[in-house]
Chain A
Amino acid sequence: MSSLLQFSGHQHLRHRLVLSILSGKHVRIDKIRSDDKNPGLRDFEISLLRLLEKVTNGTIIEISVTGTAILLKPGIISGGALSHDCPLSRSIGYFLEPIVMLAPFAKTPLQLTLRGITTDEHDLSVDLFRTVTLPHLQLFGISDGLELRIKKRGAPPEGGGEVQLLCPIVKQVKTLNFVDPGKIKRIRGVAHAVRVNPQFSNRMIESSRSILNRYIPDIYLYSDVYKGDESGKSPGYALSLLAESTTSAIHCSEAIFKPGVAPEDIGLEAARALMAEVNLGGCVDRKHQIPVLLMMVLGSEDVGRCLMSEPTPRTIQFLRDVKQFFGTSFKIVAAEPGSSQLLYSCYGTGYVNANRTLA
């Protein structure tokens, strides 16, 4: 019944799966690393598919014998209390990102416990997720009871962290009209160091403050302490920073430990990355363009507008995929002639949470 959409390549797998589940369109993705020496889906992708199967009811996932093609026939998003063990090849952030786009449209509020690596260099760390991604969802009226609890930290390679995501359900997301980036009024940050010298986090904070102090006085960088069993299995440390503007636009950055690099340098790196991000401007952080744009598409049948910096390659592909799944395209114009910031506006699809039970 539902039309089938075809994609190829392992890239952009996550948002394609999410769009498929939300729109109900069947999707077939082939040529997944078909030219690779190690063809087919990776363990974390399989794990993601398993997680999606847990979150939904009636989803049929068919994986070809070689593992280079999958067919997804989405069911409904059921939510509920779930737990999932993430593989150590990717961090928890990889799994949280698609889940948080689905969870507001579930039948029952989601209480998902994920275990694995909480911070790594590829994906959003759970700190950023808690402090930046969730506030981005609050722009769309998904706020009451939205929470991420970091129960244990787990640094790569051994992991051992645990987080719990609590997400409420909504009937319909609000239309976004966010065009004023405002000015940055505060900077916050979380530094953590597990199974290493606790002074490391202070050293990171000190060094990043050396850059940030010049701008505003309202800077609080916390040192998050986890002890014993809560600190996971491997040593590690990282610093995540976020800058919030007067209109609560948030930009963030993060730096994590590397072998042979002093904590001070990590602190500096994070601060500089934050400056680079702030310099790009817009109301939405570059890392959060996709969830924000998705929620704009899913809004009521009104015009949503958002000011952002230039799209990342992922965002561009996402916009194209959204057009295929929902038939919605964005109008993207420079906010004002000459500025590098773009105004994304679209007409919402009027997506209503059909999974929600009445009474």
Chain B
Amino acid sequence: MDDRPHKAHRPAQSGAKAEKKDKGKGKEKQKGFNEKAFAPKSGRRADRQGRRTAERDQTRLHVPLVNRTPDDEPPPVIVAIVGPPGVGKTTLLKSLVRRYAKQTLNDVKGPVTVVSGKKRRLTFIECNNDLNSMIDIGKIADLVLLMIDGSFGFEMETFEFLNILQSHGFPKVIGILTHLDLIKKAATLRDTKKALKKRFWTEIYQGAKLFYLSGVLNGRYPDTEIMNLSRFVSVMKFRPLVFRNSHSYILADRLEDLTPRELVRTSKNKCDRTVTVYGYVRGTNLRMGTRVHIPGVGDLEMKSVTVLGDPCPMPDADSEKRRKLSEKKKLIIHAPMSDVGGVMYDKDAVWVNVPGSFTRGNTDIRQGEGEQMVMDLQDVGSTLEDAVAKSQIRLLGTSSKNLTVPNEDNVDMGDEDSDDLDLESLAGSDMEDDDSGIDSDPGDAEEGDDEDRTQDPRSTGRSSHRSGARTLPSSSKKQRNDIEYAESDSDLGDNDEDLDIGGRRVRFGEDDDHDIPSDEGEGEEEEEEEEEGDDGAVPRWKKNLAERAQSSFASSRKSRRKDWTKLIYATSLTPAEILQGEQEEGSGATEVEMDEEDFFQIKRTADAGQDEVLDQSKEALSAEELKKWEDEEMLESIRHLFITGDDNAAGDGEDGNEEGGAFGEEEDGDDSQDDEEGSAAADPEAARAAALAAKKEALKRKFDEQYDDPESSKLDFYEEKKDEMARQLALNRAEFEGIDAEARALVEGYRPGQYVRIELTDVPCELIENFDPSYPIVVGGLLPAEERFGFVQVRIKRHRWYARTLKNNDPLILSVGWRRFQTVPIYSLDDHSIRMRMLKYTPEHMHCYATFYGPVSLPNTGFCAFNSLSGETPGFRVSATGVVLDIDRSVKIVKKVKLTGVPYKIFKNTAFVKDMFNSALEVVKFEGANIRTVSGIRGQIKKAMPKPDGAFRATFEDKVLKSDIIFLRAWYSVQPRKFYNPVTSLLLSDKAHWTGMRLTGQVRRDEGLKTPLNVNSTYKRIERPPRRFNPLVVPKKLQASLPYASKPKLMAPQRAQTYLQKRAVVMEPEEKKAVALLQQIRALRKNQVARRKEKKDEKKVERQKKLAKEEAVKGEKEKEKRKEYMRVAGQKTKRAAEIEEGGGRSKRRKT
């Protein structure tokens, strides 16, 4: 058995196993990385490879830009759907909304906001075919879905839109081809796709994303295709655009008119309106105090900004745990201008559609918040007036009696009570400020408050339903007042803080060198409280008013000391008063007696100071202050501020000493204070130790890092910059994290991502009258510089697709920054860096400068220009593009002026010139000016002549001729016309037909005027007759007197033949022979050449024939080809015509 040899293993030759093995082998081979195999063979190649890698690395880098949009709660991404009419924009929008929000919109108007993911919301907006809308959309869109009719091809609007995008910073663009189902043949479809893709790529960039949507099913695009598209949209990354990163803006998704109806009625709808717009803040922080521009309307003042609850909130923390967005969150959609969710916001009303029967007692249908509200409104039994009559209003919180009937305390009373404390602790002057602060409270709370009292007035939940009430013009004064009282609990918080701080103040009192908190203030407060406790029938507020005012002032001054922000910004105290309060506490040594009079004392000092104080930055050195520093101990006390000084123990000890020494008499045994001092002393010890430990830790980490990997710790420039930006952004976030919303808004404005309501005043009534939600309303924040007017110099280039040149001083419509306006530019070119020389027309294929008067935009802002915005304009409408270069208040553009004159008397180098000027005075002005003749002789104006008016003496470098024209080249400065005409397209009832100033050509055409033509300027054939010179005639007499050498020697031409001509030649016989031979040879040669030529000609003719034959064949082929092409083209046009008739689409302009 054993000796029997085993059967050898036969590996599988085929099948899965064999394949597996093969694969394994292959892998094994690849396992080891053979460095030699991939090493470059030559040094040059290595060099090239290295450079290629470096280049590729560089292309990945971008200029690091700060993204000012917060990551945690960004505003919705604006997805604009743009394309020519009939291409399927609305269908796409509906399909996308359906995909995200599972709702079918019937009538889409204005922006639609949906939640698309856990960290992203989208605002869809459809752009109509008006050029104004395209411009506005181009400025705000983050992502453009550019729709192209595949069966038709690109249209002019598409290219115009792309050019607009280019000049305002290029957002992301996704192309979408539709109507592909109209192309029946597969090959044609393929070719069309290919051709359109190629064109699209040249317009955007190689590899730009292009989607194909086939047909329409149930009024929507196929779900799978939409899903694919939505996936691309949701992963899209955005790079901040420079302009949007320095301006805040809002795409208004709602607009309300707040003007009192009565005012509108009395002014017959013509009064300026107060309008609120709603939307998400985007770009940078929106700040109060700046103006805003609504393109199509104008510059407007923001009266107030209120943060509202997010109507389309991001999924919150609990849903955040899931990987996917919960279905519930998907349903959120915010589209106030559309009829979404049965709530429709009209111009001045809200329509609520309720499913089922809208009757009372119908309990089986669950009622939403909004519906409940409407039902409650129906329940109201009493009118508003009655309600007001019943309500109790107290003048002051502490007053025992209401203004009307007394009422029992409820929840709100509690609030009001706490208000009282506030009022007491603050000086009377503060009350006004507080009131004004209340105005800017969330508007939602105001309305909610009225309906259900039990609701917390601060809660701002989903406002989309409730905020409807705001639109009712019944926001009467009464209601407002009521609200304001209720709202003033915002102060309560502040007050609490004050008290807190006050408490803390005592604790850390000893840390401050000069700060000895005197106890009198607190004592008084206590007394006050006691008084409050036992007040009798007399209204409390009437009791010893003066004392209380005084004490409250003193106490408030002390508590305020800590809250510098409030003191400076929220009070009307003079700077001296603010500091006075401070100093009296601080340098208490100088002013021990601080009693009843201190209130008045402050006043006096302030008054006295007013007259003398100079506006000086160096403060006068006070003698006392200096005297202090004569003390050795005092000098020693600041040793810890120097590097040589020991910072820790010494500092503390000295502080103690100092207080004991200098302010000894002030310090009375305050137990609590001492206790806290002790604790504070212990605390710093621990804190210092902790700080030291942290420092050590950081140092250790740094060392470790450097030791372990010296390369990694060194960042390159790009990384360093990015790091720096990230650090600054983190600091931005951290700095104002803790403070309350109102103070935060005051300091940093309204952050991007917040949903705000902006109240605008003095809005032209036409905006409301002619409001059309299909035209986007953009509220763009202006920088301080952009509110000004001035001369703006731009670099401009006529668009190569624009058919005509641009004429100097012809009106041009510009879109710069947020604005669209018409202005009159002057074109110029830099002439040898000496002067800016005016141009009559823009040059071809070249940049030139243009200067115009208008609102200023920052240098480096791009713009595009149009001659006309109307849709009827044939051809390409973007007439020029460019960039802003410079802003100034004056311009130096010149045009050439040539003054001509003629000499009337000529001496050797001197000539007298006339007809250049009209008077001697003009000559005097030009004395010393350079002049020139046409032939190029240069000269100078010397002096005016008395006789013919305006004649002058001039000298030249050579003698001028009488026939010479003498000219003076001068430069005349031209100023651009101060014409600024904003394109107020949103104010028109017919928004697409805005008309501005007419162009020169248009005016001439309309008026039937001819172009002015100077006869002398016309180009004519130049006739130059040959110049005839008369012979020089020297008079006989003169000739006679001349010496011989100078005499003209006149000789008649020789008539007789010369000897050489008339001699006879006789040859020798040899000579004769030689000549004959030569002649023969010549004759032979001649014959030979002639024969050769003949032969060549023959060949040429043959070749010509051959060529002609070939040509004929070629021509035949060409003809065939052309025929085929024309046939196809004819079919195409025929089909297009059919579509037009059948589809009823509007007119299109073929590219």
Name A residues whose Cβ lies closer than 8 Å to a Cβ of B.
1-3, 10-14, 23-25, 36, 57-58, 75-76, 93-94, 97, 107, 121-124, 175, 177, 183-185, 211, 214-217, 246, 254-255, 269, 272-273, 275-276, 278-279, 281, 286-287, 290, 300-303, 305, 310-317, 319-320, 323, 326-334, 337-340, 342, 345-347, 349-352, 354-359
Contacts and interface: CB of A to CB of B under 8 A. Distances in A.
A332 B568 contact: yes
B752 to A, nearest CB: 11
B618 A287 contact: yes
Given A58-B889, A301-B285, A339-B512, A347 B579 contact: no
A123 to B, nearest CB: 6
Contacts of B565: 329-333
A33 to B, nearest CB: 9
Contact of B619 (A215, A217, A312): A312
A325 B783 CA distance: 12
Contact of A211 (B635, B784, B885, B890): B635
B575 interface: yes
Contacts of B626: 269, 272-273, 276
A340 B510 CA distance: 11
A37 B886 CA distance: 47
Contacts of A338: 508-509, 511-512, 680
Contacts of A286: 619
Interface in B551-583: 562, 564-565, 568-569, 574-576, 578-579, 582
Given A1-B789, A24-B785, A175 B728 contact: yes
Given A215-B642, A279-B638, A352-B785, 20 more contacts: A1-B789, A11-B615, A36-B611, A183-B645, A211-B629, A272-B629, A273-B621, A278-B638, A287-B619, A302-B66, A303-B736, A303-B748, A310-B579, A311-B579, A314-B617, A337-B508, A340-B515, A347-B736, A350-B246, A354-B859
A119 to B, nearest CB: 10
B783 A352 contact: yes
Interface residues of B, number: 89
B884 interface: yes
B937 interface: no
A301 B635 contact: no
B1022 to A, nearest CB: 42
B618 A347 contact: no
Contact of A346 (B574, B743, B747): B747
B246 A301 contact: yes
A125 to B, nearest CB: 8
A7 B617 CA distance: 20
Nearest to B510: A338
A94 to B, nearest CB: 8
A255 B621 CA distance: 9
A311 B564 CA distance: 9
A358 B66 CA distance: 22
Interface of B: 66, 68, 246, 284-285, 287-290, 299, 301, 504, 508-509, 511-515, 562, 564-565, 568-569, 574-576, 578-579, 582, 611, 613-621, 625-626, 628-630, 634-635, 637-639, 641-645, 647, 680, 728-729, 731-732, 735-736, 739, 743, 746-749, 783-785, 787-790, 795, 856, 858-860, 883-890
Nearest to B855: A1
Contacts of B889: 57-58, 75-76
Contact of B642 (A76, A216, A334, A337): A216
A357 to B, nearest CB: 4
A314 B643 contact: no
Given A302-B728, A310-B579, A331-B739, A276 B625 contact: yes
Contact of A358 (B645, B647, B743, B885): B885
B749 A347 contact: yes
Nearest to A320: B568
A-B pairs with lowest CB-CB distance, top 9: A58-B889, A327-B289, A338-B508, A338-B511, A313-B575, A316-B575, A332-B564, A272-B629, A354-B785
Nearest to A22: B784
A183 B648 CA distance: 13
- Residue of B630, B634, B785 contacting most chain A CB atoms (<10 Å): B785
Nearest to A301: B284
A255 B66 CA distance: 46
A330 B784 CA distance: 19
B562 A334 contact: yes
B1041 to A, nearest CB: 69
Contacts of A11: 613, 615
A24 B748 CA distance: 21
A358 B859 contact: yes
Contact of B784 (A311, A313, A351): A351
Contacts of A312: 575, 579, 619
A327 B246 contact: no
21 contacts: A1-B788, A2-B788, A25-B784, A93-B617, A94-B615, A185-B642, A216-B643, A217-B644, A269-B626, A276-B629, A279-B641, A301-B284, A303-B728, A305-B731, A316-B579, A350-B246, A351-B783, A352-B858, A354-B783, A357-B886, A359-B795
Contacts of B795: 359
Given A11-B613, A24-B785, A355-B887, A347 B285 contact: yes
Contacts of B746: 329
Contacts of A275: 629, 634-635, 638
B784 A302 contact: no
Given A183-B642, A316-B568, A359-B885, A2 B615 contact: no
B618 A122 contact: yes
A212 B746 CA distance: 44
Nearest to B617: A287
A76 B861 CA distance: 18
A157 B590 CA distance: 35
Nearest to A23: B784
Given A269-B621, A332-B568, A326 B748 contact: no
Contacts of B514: 340
A286 B68 CA distance: 33
B1089 to A, nearest CB: 69
Contacts of B642: 183-185, 215-216
A20 to B, nearest CB: 11
Contacts of A333: 564-565
A358 B788 contact: no
Contacts of A1: 299, 787-789
B641 A183 contact: yes
Nearest to B634: A275
Contact of A330 (B732, B747, B785, B790): B747
Contacts of A25: 784
B890 to A, nearest CB: 6
Contacts of B568: 311, 316, 319-320, 330, 332
A69 B728 CA distance: 44
A281 B620 CA distance: 19
A8 to B, nearest CB: 12
Contacts of B617: 93, 97, 123-124, 287, 290, 314
Contact of A76 (B576, B731, B790): B790
Contact of B569 (A123, A211, A273, A323): A323
B299 to A, nearest CB: 8
Nearest to B733: A303
Given A184-B642, A338-B680, A314 B564 contact: no
B644 A215 contact: yes
B615 A13 contact: yes
A354 B508 contact: no
A13 B749 CA distance: 28
B287 A327 contact: yes
Contact of B890 (A57, A123, A175): A57
A180 B66 CA distance: 26
A175 to B, nearest CB: 7
Contacts of B287: 327-328, 349
Nearest to B623: A269
A215 B621 contact: no
A57 B888 contact: yes
